[in-house]
Structure 1
Amino acid sequence: MGIAVTAPIILGLTLEHLEVGLALCFGAFWCSPSNVSGSLNHKMKGILLSALLIMVVSFFGGYLHYKTWLILPVLGFLTFGIAFISVYGFRASLISFSGLLALVLSFAHTSQELEIYQYALLIGVGGLWYLLLVVIWHYINPKAQTEEILAETFILTAKFLETRGQLVGQQTNREALQTKLLNLQSELVEHHATLRDILIQSRKSSGISYYKGKRLLVFVQLVEMLETAIANPVNYEKMDVLFKQHPGYINSFQDFIFEMAQQLRFIAEFGNDIKKLPKSKELSICFEKIKEEVGLLKTSEGKADYEDYLMLQNLLEYQEKQFNKIKKIKWLLGNPDMDAKDFIDRNESKRFIVSQDYNPKVLLRNLSFRSNIFKHSLRLAVTVMIGYVVGNFFAFQNPYWILLTIIVIMRPSYGLTKTRSKDRIIGTLIGGAIASGMVLLIQNPYIYGGLGVVSLIIAFSMVQRNYKASAAFITLSVVFIYAIIQPDITAVIQFRIIDTILGAALSFMSMLWLWPAWGFLEIGKNIETSVVANKDFLGKISHFYQHKGKVPTSYKLSRKTAFLETSNLNAAFQRMTQEPKSKQKHLDKIYELVELNHTFLSSLASLSSYIQFHPTTEASERFKMAITKIDDNLSQVITSLNGGKSQNMASTILQGDVFFKEQLAHEKLFLAQEDKHLERHDQEAHLVWEQLRWLYTISGSMLKLTSSIDFD
């Protein structure tokens, strides 16, 4: 970014064509938002489309310097149209943002030297200049993006394991830790999607790569670590009772979990240096210690001790699986002779990438108040028009700053807009205060220029991590640049702060009063999508259990979709909790429904893991009947979420309860005849039926809840 912005200006000053340098600079600057993580192919297409959009917008924007009454409808129409591009997904929303930047900043600069069409063409060339730098940097350091996202995924996985470790034993803040766990899960799913795009798409376009192949295998282990964790939920209430009787086990398990998390952090930092990869000795010592301690309970003659042993043994087996995955990751990173291409089916792996639908019909489908993007685009267009009128009516020094603040702050969700408004104002005040002091102490325009560029680079590097700090550095950059050409810098800072506060206030009020998109109105659809995904995953598990054989790709895809949709549901619920209390209808019931859906997936994953990695017997008629009853419950949940009424809900649940009670009595009678020390004997019948009974109970609870909530 620093090179793309400064090089054209320096060249323009040197050749005495500053207008040309500024046009190239703006083109590069406005294309930069579309340069986000992903495959090079997607990046190039995104930047090219951004360059085309900003060139067209700059051409039309060049003619928007007329009377306010004539500008307003054109400004509103262009704002809506550009914002509406976001219906095509995340990358499209960033291309849209580039277009909005170009539109708003077309008010900031009127070219004296160039014709409007020349200026617009140079803006497009500036975008190509930025694309050239991106491609050059990719080939200079092709591994940089992969290593960065992979390292972040290692650290997120470490935090996820640590949080689960903190939940072991009695906790006063267990609910807060579980919320943190769900948020980390959502972040991990997002990072997994990005890594799929980078690693699989690059193999598709550039062929087999030894480096990318190994990283893809490492990525598979990280995905399995998350899925294994979700497939092994901990019953914390039972664990509390167990650890109260055997408190010494808490520290042993936590030490082992925290050591695994620490090793993942070391791998994130030293993954490319084989010599610095952490050794497994410390983990092995911790594991053997726990194994020995748990084994002591097995030899006890007390029935309660044996039951405690079974619980701890299950927990130990789960931790051993995670330990083995960490060892596999270190082996993959440290084994220079591995031929990665033999492990990955390219045609199969491509099916795990979610393809965006770019059909023009998507635009038509979203031309409705049922679409959040439509409402957001309309809301943004009206707010921009109001901001333009206010800025011109009060004759602010730079009224386009109001518009810039609006397009940067306003987002489709209320919570994010509120947070960004607050952070933007605080950051601007901090940046303004620091800039005032520095301008009074420094009087050198060359230093101003250098500080302006450095501040801009820091601002963009922090925009995703700390928006408040990013806003402060953007303010510093703006003030330093204006300090070169504006003698009264105090007035610049004053108007910058006023315009920012006004833009933030308009954005916040618009979110409240103009076609608000409250989470409650959408959460029902999110729940339905997740339940449908879980229902499909249940069907695939049932089919595989009945027919055995090799795990089909459709099975893995349904599992991935179920995890993804559950993560999306968690994120939607978190957005809902950030909204005004008056808009959080049935929050407790919806929270319980979200938790039940997550627990349902955990149980599905546990059943899935067992039948994949253990030999299983032929599926009985009772198994098929149990699956049918669970599936029927889920179908009625979906019907209820769509506004329909469940048919004979009470009768259906009663029949299902009778069926599972009969099966439970049959199982107890059978197991009573067995030796309790034969742990693996008939484990399949016990575990499978325990999970089926639990899945049926959860689905029944979900049905009762959805029937009691009016989502309209």
Structure 2
Amino acid sequence: MNYSAELKKFVTSQYVYSSIRITLATVLPCLVLAHFGILKEYFLFPLGTSFVALTDQPGPFIRRRNALTFAIFCFVLVALIASLVMNFKILVFAEIIVFGMFFSLIGVYGQRLAAVGSLSLVVLAIFIDGHLTGANILKSLLIFTSGCIWFLLIFLIVTTIQPYKLAGQMIGENYLQLAEFLKIKAGYYQKNPDYSKLTTQVIAKQIEIKNLQEDTRETVFKTRTIVNESTTTSRLLMLMFLNSMDLHEKLMTSESDYEKLQQSFQDSTILVNIHHYLELLSEEITNIGIALQSGTRAKPLFDLDTELKNLNHHFFDLRNKELNPNNLENFMILRQILMRINEITKEINEIYKVFSQNIKLAKSLSTGLDFKKFMPNEEKLNFKVLKNNISFTSSHFRHALRITIALLLGYLFSLFEFLGLGHTYWIMITITAILKPAYSITKKRNLLRLYGTISGAIIAYTILYFVHINQVLFTILLLSMIMCFSFLKGRYFWAVFFMTIYVFLSFNFLNPGNVDVIFKDRILDTVIAGIIASFVSYVVFPVWEHTQNLDLMKKSAESNLIYFQSVIAKFLENNFDIEDYKVKRKNAIISLANLSDNFQRMISEPKNQRKKLEVVHQFVATSHLITAYTASLSQYVKGNEKYPEIDTENWSKKITAEMQKVINLLHDEKITETLVKESKLEPEDEVEDLLMQRKNEIEENEIVDRRDPNKISHLTEIKNIHDVLELIYDVTKEQRKVIEKYKNETATIKSTEPIPQQS
């Protein structure tokens, strides 16, 4: 592992940048207040700052600003009502029900408002018993409101000074994810690869890339200064993001029959050399990502031209030495892989040219794309959307009920004085943090929260026991806050670990010598909250992932068919709509990632809820291959180049019919005779005749030592096109058999069920 690169990736990321901003915005007022000896009295100021800061989700400036403003309004309203009714227990229960339902339901409008809703419930927990407000409620609310507004001002100043910072960091993270994706793919070429493990990693990484691309699309395409292409920086950022999506497709195209390749070239070092070169490319893409995140210029780490030249020479030497009629097709596959690697290398070299900050290049850049078509779908902010989700069929409504019931149970525990809990609001805060719409995520976060809290509490207790120098403790507090906010999105255990440390240190500064009570309360409250969250998520209107599978399978199958049709159109039509193609490519990748993500969550559910697990797994695997092979097919047509040797029209009908069969089966629709007939078409390709002719030439020792790495024989191209079309058809056929088996098993189960007797 390159530890230097890993450190740079972390330090330059949007998460560290954001966490430093949050920490400074929270801590600087604390220092001023502590200097005047009034920190304890004005503790609500930094608390309000941190709450508003945590609602700031990546995205376009206007949406972030509006969300922060809405968050301040919600926080102040909740704090006001909670402070006014805290002495009336019936009203407290009523406010938990109203706020619990409303602030959970607004998650229907997207992650940004879901974050505002979650933090509003945290504010409710903080103010619910008045332990922080004191006797002067108005003064406390003014202090809290001032702290909230303080972060909004910080946000406005920072985004004005650095309008492109977030976009650059998010685009950079896209490249870092692509580098990791390529590194996983490189694993297929090493000695004795674990194919099953690598395939699982590829699918998991596709999910991460999809989620990140969705967030980046929103940030880039809805940031006016970038879309309007008014400056050099904005145009270059747009170019870099569009290049990252094209590079993603190129990386997907390297899908091959790896087991066959390993068997064919096991006595050679060519595959190991490919593995080494792909890792070099991965490091270069990482270097580009780090440069984008840090806002610096990237320079190549390696001499890729020399490395690629050596790799190609190795292939040509091996080809001239061992090529024969029996292994001709294997060498064709390997040649095509090297061509793909050449194209990826060219793409990376072009990206490096962008970093030369060529003003002419930036000014001449015009994407010509309608960015609205590439935007992620979001619910519009109208009451009708909220109203339509007030139903037991809505997963959002069920989640809102679970949150509300769990908060009510948490509050009930706080009323049991015999438990001797001193910080009971921690129970409600922990419930809000743990309980998520998916059972699998709740289960995972529950365990991570418990482990992180216990380990963090032990470390914090040890620090406070041995360290008594305030300057050292304050430094540890700062670092803990930065690390907590940095890990909050991706590594929950570490976020909770560092959060526990800075909470302990904060309370120690406010009330020195109270560490034993904090230690007991923190762990006990976390355990109680974890038990409540687990119980509620399992018992109260759970939404199991298997109920989502069929709809996601339908969407994936339909998107793959549309994607394939857009690609095959490149072979059939002269006028090809590149924008329409890119939209369909995006939809296919998103549908695949959503299906894969749902399957990954289903694995973590109770065994009795993992229904048809093997069927879904096979469907996910075949869908992944269909998308990847379709992406491979898309790379062949360049310009007006045609392949008359391929019976493209009949291949289009054959594969489309087989894909449509899958869709019909998923929708319980009849498979027509036309579909059956077309799926059995035998395309009249000329590939086999030309291949036989070439084998005869090799038999007669007619091997020409051509060493142009940028050119590939026409026969190799048409052979690979033919093979990819066959692979798409075969995998689709396998997918159809998987669904047929699933349907037959379901029908058998229904037929064996006892028929109820008529009374």
Q: TM-score, normalised by structure 1?
A: 0.90
Does the CA contact (< 8 Å) of 2:261 and 2:330 recur in 1?
no
Hey, what does 1:372 align to over in structure 2? Answer: 395
> What is the SS of the residue equivalent to 2:222?
helix
1:517 is paired with a residue whose SS is coil
Q: Partner of 1:468 in structure 2? A: 493
Aligned partners of 1:689, 1:510: CA distance in 2, in Å?
Answer: 54
AA paired with 1:438?
Answer: I
Matches within 5 A, 1:90-101: 90-101=111-122
Say whether 1:229 aligns with 2:251.
yes
User: What is the deviation of 1:332?
Assistant: 0.9
Q: CA 1:346/1:62 → structure 2, altered by over 3 Å: closer, same or farther?
A: farther
Note if 1:187 corresponds to 2:208. Answer: yes
For residues 534-578 of structure 1, what are the alpha-carbon distances to aligned partners after superposition, in whole Å with 9 as ceiling and x for unaligned?
A: 222233334444332353412211111111221222221111112
Query: Which residue number in structure 1 is paired with residue 728 of structure 2?
Result: 695
Counterpart among 269, 274, 284 of residue 253 in structure 1: 274
2:261 counterpart of 1:239: yes
Structure 2 counterpart of 1:106? 127
Q: Which segment drifts farther, 263-272 or 134-143? A: 263-272
Q: Is the 8 A contact 1:603 1:694 kept in 2?
A: yes
Structure 1 residue 402 corresponds to structure 2 residue 423:
no
The corresponding residue for 2:579 is 553
In structure 1, which of residues 603, 606, 620 is the aligned counterpart of residue 629 of structure 2?
A: 603
Q: Give me the whole-angstrom Cα distance separating, in 2, the residues matched to 1:301 and 1:226.
A: 33
Q: 2:235 is matched with which residue?
A: 213
Give the 3 Å change call, closer, same or farther, for CA 177–273 of structure 1 in structure 2. Answer: same
Q: CA deviation at 1:58?
A: 1.7
Q: What amino acid sits opposite 1:604 in the alignment?
A: T
Aligned partner of 1:668 among 675, 688, 692: 688
Say if 2:546 and 2:611, in contact at 8 Å, map to a contact too. Answer: yes
Deviation at 1:641, TM superposition (A): 2.8
Q: Retained in 1: the 8 A contact 2:108–2:379?
A: no
Question: Contact conserved, 1:297 with 1:309, CA < 8 A, in 2?
Answer: no
Separation in structure 1 between the aligned mates of residue 520 and residue 338 of structure 2, nearest angstrom: 62
Question: Out of 334, 354, 361, which is 2:384 matched to?
Answer: 361
Match of 1:431 in 2: 456
Residue 74 of structure 1 aligns to a residue whose secondary structure is helix
* Offset of residue 167 of structure 1: 1.0
Match of 1:352 among 351, 374, 377: 374
Q: C-alpha distance in 2, partners of 1:293/1:437?
A: 59
Q: Secondary structure at the match of 1:659?
A: coil
Higher RCO (C-alpha 8 Å, min separation 6):
2
Verify: 1:126 aligned to 2:150, yes or no: no
Alignment equivalent of 1:590, drawn from 616, 623, 632: 616
- Partners of 2:98 and 2:141 lie apart in 1 by 20
Letter in 2 for 1:473: F
Cα offset for 1:387? 1.1
Tell me which residue corresponds to 1:506.
532
TM-fit CA distance, 1:228: 1.0
Alignment of 1:701-712 (within 5 A): 701-709=734-742
Q: Distance in 1 between matches of 2:377 and 2:46?
A: 33
Q: In 2, Cα distance between the equivalents of 1:274 and 1:457?
A: 23
The correspondence for 1:37, drawn from 49, 55, 58, is 58
Q: Give deviations 1:346-371, integer Å, cap 9, x for gaps.
A: 65234322252214332233223333
Q: CA separation in 1, counterparts of 2:661 and 2:590? A: 22
Q: How does 1:202-601 map to 2 (within 5 A)?
A: 202=223, 203=225, 208-244=230-266, 246-270=267-291, 277-278=299-300, 281=303, 283-299=304-320, 302-345=324-367, 348-358=370-380, 359-393=382-416, 394-442=419-467, 451-483=476-508, 484-485=510-511, 487-601=513-627
Deviations 1:228-278 (CA, angstroms, capped at 9, x unpaired): 12123121121122122x422122212211111122233344567988612
| Alpha-carbon offset, residue 82 of structure 1 | 0.2
For residues 405 and 522 of structure 2, what CA distance do their matches in structure 1 show?
Answer: 22
| 8 Å Cα contact 1:19-1:113 kept in structure 2 | no
- Does the 8 Å contact 2:126/2:425 carry over to 1? yes
Question: Are the counterparts in 2 of residues 54 and 123 from structure 1 also a CA contact under 8 Å?
Answer: no
- Once the two structures are superposed, residues 149-198 of structure 1 have per-residue CA deviations (whole angstroms, 9 ceiling, x without a partner) of 33433332222112111111453522112211222222222233333333
**Aligned partners of 1:19 and 1:111 also within 8 Å:** no
Deviation larger for 362-371 or 312-321: 362-371
The 1:603/1:466 distance shift into structure 2, 3 A limit, reads: closer
> Residue 162 of structure 1 aligns with which residue?
183
Deviation at 1:633, TM superposition (A): 3.6
Q: Secondary structure at the match of 1:369?
A: coil
C-alpha separation in 2, matches of 1:436 and 1:121 = 34
Instruction: Indicate the SS of the match to 1:334.
Output: coil
Deviation at 1:4?
A: 2.8
Cα gap change, 1:91 to 1:263, in 2 (>3 Å): same
- TM-score, normalised with respect to structure 2: 0.85
Q: What residue number does 1:27 align with?
A: 48
Distance change >3 Å, CA 79–CA 144, structure 1 → 2: same
Give the whole-Å Cα distance in 1 for the aligned partners of 2:456 and 2:595.
37
* Inter-partner Cα distance in structure 2 for 1:301 and 1:10: 74
Task: Supply the distance in 2 between the matched residues of 1:443 and 1:610 (Cα, whole angstroms).
Answer: 68
Provide the residue aligned with 2:662 in structure 1: 637
What amino acid is the match of 1:456? Answer: M
Structure-2 change in CA distance of 1:266 and 1:371 (3 Å): same
Please give the secondary structure, in 2, of the residue aligned with 1:389.
helix
- 1:214–1:552 distance in 2 versus 1, CA, 3 Å: same
CA contact (8 A) 2:44 2:132 kept: no
In 2 relative to 1, CA 163–143 (structure 1 residues): closer, same or farther, beyond 3 Å? Answer: same
Deviation string 1:94-151 (CA, Å, 9 cap, x unpaired) is: 12222122121112645236445x6546544433321111122223344443343334
Contact 1:4 1:133 in 2 (8 A): yes
Structure 1 distance, partners of 2:680, 2:271, is: 39
CA contact (8 A) 1:380 1:407 kept: yes
| 3-state DSSP of counterpart to 1:357 | coil
- 592-601 or 672-681: which moved more? 672-681
- Note the C-alpha offset of 1:499: 0.4
Moved more, 300-309 or 572-581: 300-309
Question: Percent of pairs identical after alignment?
Answer: 19
1:341-394 deviation digits (Å, cap 9, x = unpaired): 422336523432225221433223322333322221111111111111122123
Tell me which amino acid in the other structure corresponds to 1:385.
L
Task: List runs of 5+ in structure 2 lacking aligned partners.
Answer: 1-21, 698-703, 705-711, 751-759
In structure 1, distance between residues paired with 2:656 and 2:297: 52
SS of alignment partner, residue 182 of structure 1: helix
Structure 2 residue identity aligned to 1:551: D
- Residues 1:267 and 1:689: Cα distance change in structure 2 (over 3 Å): closer
Which letter maps to 1:224?
D
CA–CA separation in structure 2 for the residues paired with 1:186 and 1:530: 14
User: What's the RMSD between the two structures over aligned residues?
Assistant: 3.2
Q: Residues of 1 paired with 2:696 and 2:310: CA distance? A: 25
CA distance in 1, matches of 2:149, 2:736: 55
Question: Which amino acid in the other structure matches residue 183 of structure 1?
Answer: A
Cα distance in 2, alignment partners of residues 367 and 618 from structure 1: 57
Partner amino acid for 2:262?
A: D
